[in-house]
Chain A
Amino acid sequence: MTTEYQAVFAEFEPIIGLETHIELGTNSKMFCSCSAQFGGDPNTHVCPVCLGLPGSMPVVNRVAVESTIRMGLALNCSIAQWCRFARKNYFYPDMPKNYQISQYDEPLCSDGYLDVTVPTENGPQVFRVEIERVHMEEDTGKLLHAGGAGRIHGATHSLVDYNRAGIPLIEVVTKPILGTGELAPEIAKAYVSELRDLMRALGVSDVRMEEGSLRCDVNVSLNRQGEGWGTRTETKNVNSLRSVERAVRTEMVRQAEQLRLGELIILETRHFNEETGDTTSGRSKEEAEDYRYFPEPDLVPVAPSESWIEKLRGTLPEIPSVRRARLQNNWGISEFDMQSLVNAGALELIIASIDAGVQPSAARKWWTGELTRVANERDCELEELTVTPADIAQIEGLIFEGVLTDKMARSVFEGLLDGEGNVAEVIDSRGLVVVKDDDLLVEAINQALSESPDIAEKIKSGKVAAAGAIVGAVMKSTKGQADAAKVRTLLLEQLGVKE
């Protein structure tokens, strides 16, 4: 932590709040039967409804409502007996109707909480984040700016892909999170991570962050100790766990600097720059649009029955925090180890690797060791690496069969990480095959012995520890493609020495 960051707390207390939009993994869109699959050729998953053609009308996707209710239940929310959709009116080219169907003052789920665990110097600490509401809405289309640098500024024209328009979104809004102190950025990150895991566990979304299916708006304000709440800013569209943490941190530092200079914080939206980690001013809320919300007259209210809600409650899976406790116990690791593995974003990857056949200890070793180091070096998430749980299963299998040595396995990972192809291709292009031919190894051993007759004598005289030097020489001459243990056995056999 920078001293700049720590200096914030000499004078200020942060209050944060998070609004998270996540695409639901339904088959069809929120208000029509078009495919909700990511991608596809532009404007192929469209119909009169999601194109907002005159006369078309929305019909609510029942599965999306179910997903939202299940999410609400998992977040300990109360579920509305009766609620309506609302229209949020504003003009933008990615909005087919120039209004978005959302929920306003009647959310489907409200008043819940989510417990998150953050690491501290005194060990992991549980923090309760209170949830204001969970509601449903539709996504907008996607703008592609052409003829410039891909940004609206300098573009000659823009194209709109409406495949995304109408994809169901769930919005989870926290209450203001108070009392975080220096842990604010970590709590923000842990909250989004926990939310993501929860959605995955519920099976309501696979939350592909790299495809932008989770977007976070980060609210931050500072208040001088003992004074009322400060003015907040809202940093929009923060799209990864790390960015959430960075956005909170940089915004706290920026606001503290402003306030120390006696300047006011303006109620505004800000943009997060993924490259620099800075936030820059967007539009101020004063000049922001008036969305003229009103109840959507094209839809009937959503009124889930008590029995339906209870039925959905019965479908809730083991929630991630309970599951983690169970796994921690199964694997026999400490809470600290479990927490660092979660913080590294490795848990799901480890589980997936185990599911693919890797031993739990090996799965943990690879993901929390070598791969985490590389991810840190590259400033990216573990899941963004070009190594998959299936790759690990394959490599572990090859080690077990004696095709690869541990050292060669590292080289395979290196190749995978550098995008040299799949496991087989990397092994092939790097020539990574264990020399299994005993005659070849014996020849190399004899060569090494003849180059170091003194060491040969030492070994013969019973100083078995000296064998290491010869093994090393053999490994060198075979370019690491021999199994060291095997070389040692052969060497001792050759010299007629017993351990």
Chain B
Amino acid sequence: MSDLTRQSAATLASAIARREVSSEEVTRAHFDRIAQVDERVHAFLHVDPESSIARAREVDQQLAKGELLSPLAGVPIAFKDLLATKGVPTTCGSRILEGWRPPYNATIVDKLNAAGVVSLGKTNMDEFAMGSSTEHSGYGPTHNPWDLERIPGGSGGGSAAAVASFESPMAIGTDTGGSIRQPAALTGTVGVKPTYGGVSRYGIVALASSLDQAGPCARDVMDTALLHAVIGGHDPRDSTSINEPVPDVVAAALKADVRGMKIGVIKELKGEGFQAGVLERFNQSIEILTDLGAEVIEVSCPHFEYALGAYYLILPSEASSNLARFDGMRFGIREDDGKDRSVEEVMSATREKGFGAEVKRRIMLGTYALSSGYYDAYYGQAQRIRTLITRDFAYAFSRVDVLVSPTAPTTAFKIGEKLDNPLAMYLNDIATIPVNLAGNCAMSLPIGRAPEDGLPVGLQIIAPPMADHLLYQVGSALESALADRWGGLLISEAPTL
């Protein structure tokens, strides 16, 4: 088999299953690639080749004995660094957690282990998933494989860049307001935010508990479907996870058919603030979907204009509470000069040193929004907006099967370009945030390169809660139509680095 790192997860899995190649060889090939490019990409925060390769060998032995029947057995994966991994450093991209090795695994890490998927390591991210560029990592930014001067999106820029740079065939991300989808769009990869509650959150360090959802990142729709099928489902340790069977996403990806489907274009997400080349590619995809037999209509979601405001009250509020436990007492760093400091002084100094500016900004916003006397005006009002946005979606889905929009308003911007302008940074997630507020599922799919800068553009497909299969059905249909035009996936055009 030619270059193992250029293969899809599905291809690798079947080659491994047929014993044409070993998981060890595949894993080694990816570590070679990491060694070759990651100094420039900086997708990974932590790798431990020795133990990963040992694990791959174990999987090979299990496969030889016929003990593993999982469709992804032996394939490597990368984990966003806010998944708890037993005995393996977990920093959430923050200095405050430096040195912490969790004593337990996130549920989805356990599920992937059981499926024989081999971890390559932990990927870079905006600190505690707060950001849209991965520049807010406490360990330096990740670079976009399409242009190393540019950001890969965020917060899961590390996971997306690892996949886009062929350092890993697939990765796990988490998406609170677009952190899987926007980086996928900016790196020419596929990313899915499953229905809220569709994938266990246990062991995923919480940013905003009511919005967070882990999901798959890969280079094509089928790989994300295979990964989704492994990680999805109810977890008794996460009572917010839905106790229903996972929609058959793999079958839907195979179906790849939009004939007779109604697709809604969200009027509010294709005008002002969207880059011309992004809209051009988006409109072209709409035409293709029509050609493929879908009925495309325009729908209005009038309350989406309040989504960003509501999101930036709900997220910081929950985050201010979720991040309270990082106080230097039990894990991570402790800032204590030994000079008879009170516990409050040590906590305060630790948080001052350990947290970056964006984290502090949001903790302060959230603390304020939850304060007595302000709660109703801010948090309470934001929850009402959330209800209205959920109704907008419900109404739209009474008319169409899925909704579409550009995933992000622009292509990847330059590192440093928006760092001093938080509001401009926040606007990156204008199209992705409403989905998290309503708990729907959505996918970002590469639909070409913007003519003005040659950078990837993503299309977002949104489906109702627990209708995740529709994402895959529409996504794979569009993907194969585009691949026919291009003679392959968009990602194959990425620089080889």
Contact = CB atoms under 8 A, between A and B. Distances in A.
A54 B324 contact: no
A160 to B, nearest CB: 8
B446 to A, nearest CB: 31
Given A60-B239, A300-B240, A53 B321 contact: no
Interface residues of A, number: 29
Interface string A292-310: 1110011110000000000
Interface in B321-339: 321, 324-327, 329-331
Nearest to A90: B324
Nearest to B100: A54
Given A48-B104, A292-B367, A297-B318, A99 B206 contact: no
B226 to A, nearest CB: 25
A292 B370 contact: yes
Contact of A55 (B106, B320, B326): B106
A316 to B, nearest CB: 28
B325 A52 contact: yes
Chain A CB within 10 A, most for which of B90, B201, B318:
B318
B442 interface: no
A31 to B, nearest CB: 9
B343 A57 contact: no
A59 B205 CA distance: 16
Contacts of B259: none
Interface in B182-208: 201-206, 208
A291 B372 CA distance: 8
Contacts of A91: 324, 327, 344, 347
Contacts of B320: 89, 292
A98 interface: yes
Interface in B259-279: none
Given A54-B84, A59-B239, A48 B347 contact: no
A290 interface: yes
B113 interface: no
Contact of A93 (B104, B240, B329): B329
A57 B327 contact: no
A303 to B, nearest CB: 12
Contacts of B343: 93, 158
B371 interface: yes
B175 to A, nearest CB: 16
B238 interface: yes
Contact of B324 (A97, A290, A293): A97
Contact of B370 (A55, A89, A96, A97): A89
A96 to B, nearest CB: 7
A290 B239 contact: no
B480 interface: no
Interface string A111-136: 00000000000000000000000000
Nearest to A51: B330
Contacts of B327: 91, 98
A423 B347 CA distance: 54
Given A91-B347, A298-B209, A300-B240, A53 B103 contact: yes
A78 to B, nearest CB: 25
Contacts of A57: 201-202, 237-240
B473 to A, nearest CB: 30
B325 A298 contact: no
Contacts of B379: 294
B321 A89 contact: yes
B366 to A, nearest CB: 9
B92 interface: yes
B370 A294 contact: yes
B71 interface: no
A53 B202 contact: no
A289 B381 CA distance: 23
A299 B240 contact: yes
Contacts of B239: 57-60, 298-300
A138 to B, nearest CB: 14
Identify whether the interface residues of A are mostly helix, strand, loop, or mixed: loop
A294 B343 CA distance: 26
Nearest to B197: A300
B321 A294 contact: yes
Interface residues of B, number: 45
Contacts of B330: 51-53, 96
B90 A54 contact: yes
A56 interface: yes
Contact of A54 (B92, B367, B370): B92
B400 interface: no
A55 B206 contact: yes
A55 B102 CA distance: 9
B375 to A, nearest CB: 7
Contacts of B204: 55
A45 interface: no
Interface in A332-348: none
Contacts of B106: 55
Contacts of A300: 239-240
B317 interface: yes
B202 to A, nearest CB: 5
A99 B321 contact: yes
B97 A54 contact: yes
A294 B205 contact: no
Interface in A130-161: 158
Contacts of B83: 55
Contacts of A58: 239
Contact of A294 (B82, B201, B317): B317
Contacts of B317: 294
B344 A56 contact: no
A82 to B, nearest CB: 15
Nearest to A49: B237
B236 interface: yes
Contacts of B344: 91
B209 A55 contact: no
B210 interface: yes
A345 to B, nearest CB: 39
A54 B325 contact: yes
Given A290-B371, A292-B367, A294-B375, A98 B324 contact: yes
Chain A CB within 10 A, most for which of B92, B97, B104:
B104
A246 interface: no
A87 interface: yes
Interface in B220-276: 236-240
Contacts of B104: 48, 53, 56
B346 to A, nearest CB: 10
Given A48-B103, A54-B325, A290-B372, 18 more contacts: A48-B102, A52-B330, A54-B205, A55-B82, A59-B237, A60-B239, A91-B324, A91-B327, A97-B325, A98-B327, A99-B321, A158-B343, A292-B321, A292-B375, A294-B375, A297-B240, A297-B318, A299-B240
Interface of B: 82-84, 90, 92, 97, 100, 102-104, 106, 201-206, 208-210, 236-240, 317-318, 320-321, 324-327, 329-331, 343-344, 347, 367, 370-372, 375, 379
7 contacts: A54-B100, A55-B205, A93-B343, A292-B367, A294-B317, A297-B208, A300-B239
A-B residue pairs, 4 tightest by C-beta: A98-B324, A297-B209, A292-B370, A297-B210
Interface of A: 48, 51-60, 87, 89, 91, 93, 96-99, 158, 290-294, 297-300
